[in-house]
Structure 1
Amino acid sequence: MSESDSFIDEVTEEVRRDRLYATFRKYGWIGAVAVLAIVGGAAWTEWQKSRAQAEAVAFGDAVMSAMATDDPAARLAALDGVSAEGAFGDTDGRVAVLGLLAADEALKAGDKDEAKARLAEIVAMPTLDPAYHDMAQLKWLAVAGDGVDAGERDRILADLAIPGRPYRVLALEQQALVLASGGKTDEAIVALKALLQDADVPAGLRRRATQLIVALGGTPDAA
């Protein structure tokens, strides 16, 4: 390579370097802002997680404190004093937990109407997670018992038994029990046998279904 070629290459390299520096000076702030945004976003996310965890711990401690007494009526009153509000976490879920616990304490205190009212409030929450909603709905049906219109009961159970619902198998069990209590023994046995074929049925429910089939005069082995 001649000296002139070498000189040209050096000049070209310098020009490239100057252009690169100029570009960095002009647009480098964008990269800096992007880095700050990433770091700041990660810090904000971690802070939110920390706050949500702190709120959950505080809520749990408050609930445990409310449940510390031996008197159901006192526990119910104490639960009513626990706040479910919070800037982070699942506020609706905390409201539902308090409502479910309050309903149980109302039942223990002998106030069936209060228990039904507490459960109905949970069911009526529009944005509640299905796990809480369906649990409250099943408990409400159990507490209401014969006080529920048969058509309304069947409609609710059919809705809860839709595939994908969190307590579908429990709703199917209740449907079978309704059939059995209504004297529809054969239909109840068929429903229970179908339930036994469901892979999602836990061991406890499987035992109950088997025992009920035998009690109704059926043969579980034929399921």
Structure 2
Amino acid sequence: MSDTDSFIDEVTEEVRRDRLYLLLRRWGWVGVLAVVLIVGGAAFNEVRKARATGQAQDLGDSILAALALNDSAERAASLSEVEAAAPGGDAVLNMLLSASQVEAGSEADAVASLNTIAVQGDLPEIYRAIAAFKALLLQADSLPIADRRQQFEALAAPGAPLRLLAEEQLALLDVAEGNVDAAIARLQALRQDAEIGVDLQQRAAQLIVALGGEPEPLIARQG
């Protein structure tokens, strides 16, 4: 390589370095900002996780301390004073609270605790359905049959998580109203449902017999 070529290469390299330095001076802050954001975001995420873990541990300790009380009324009172920051924790807390309220003989308070869960829209449907179902069972002697039927029918809607259990309760309401034929027909259909479990299927058959009916042969399921 000649001296001229070498000189040209050196000049070209200097130009490239000058351009790089210029770019760094002009846009280098973008890279620094990106690093700060990444590091800051990671730190914030860790702090958030630590805070959530701490809140869950505090909630668990408070619940365990309340459940350790032997008297059901005291246990319910202690649970009612516990505060949960997250919707899921609040649902668990109200479930436990309702159980203690039932043991203490405060069924109206238990129903209120369960209904708090049932209307909590940010919870998964299964938890809301369980709470609503248990609340209806507790109101067997206080809520008119027509109102209970309406609510059980909502729980028995296609695709609902407790659909089959709600159908069983509707059959029992048919019996309570003296409509035995409707109850047997509902139970026969319930036994043929593709999603029914063995225990519920057997309960339905026993109730059909108790009502003077004859369980229909089960249709073979394909699959």
Q: Mind listing any 5+ residue stretches in structure 1 that lack a counterpart?
A: none
- Residue 169 of structure 2 corresponds to residue 177 of structure 1: yes
Match of 1:97 among 92, 99, 112: 92
Between stretches 54-63 and 95-104, larger displacement belongs to 95-104
Report deviation, 1:102: 1.6
Structure 2 counterpart of 1:47: 47
Contact kept? 1:72, 1:109, Cα under 8 Å: yes
Compute the RMSD of aligned alpha carbons: 2.4
TM-score with structure 2 length normalisation?
A: 0.81
Counterpart mapping for 1:47-126 below 5 A: 47-84=47-84, 86=85, 90=86, 92-126=87-121
How many residues in Structure 1 have an aligned counterpart in Structure 2? 208
Cα deviation per residue 1:113-132 (whole Å; 9 max; x = unaligned)?
A: 22222223333445444343
Contact kept? 1:154, 1:175, Cα under 8 Å: no
Contact kept? 2:190, 2:201, Cα under 8 Å: no
Structure 2 counterpart of 1:133: 128
State how far apart, in whole Å, the 2-side matches of 1:134 and 1:62 are: 26
State how far apart, in whole Å, the 2-side matches of 1:2 and 1:151 are: 104
TM-score with structure 1 length normalisation?
A: 0.81
- Residue 17 of structure 2 corresponds to residue 22 of structure 1: no
Report deviation, 1:180: 4.6
Q: Say if 1:42 and 1:158 are closer, same or farther in 2 by CA, change over 3 A.
A: farther
Q: Say if 1:2 and 1:105 are closer, same or farther in 2 by CA, change over 3 A.
A: same
Between stretches 142-151 and 65-74, larger displacement belongs to 142-151
SS in 1 for 2:115: helix
Percent of paired sites with the same residue: 35
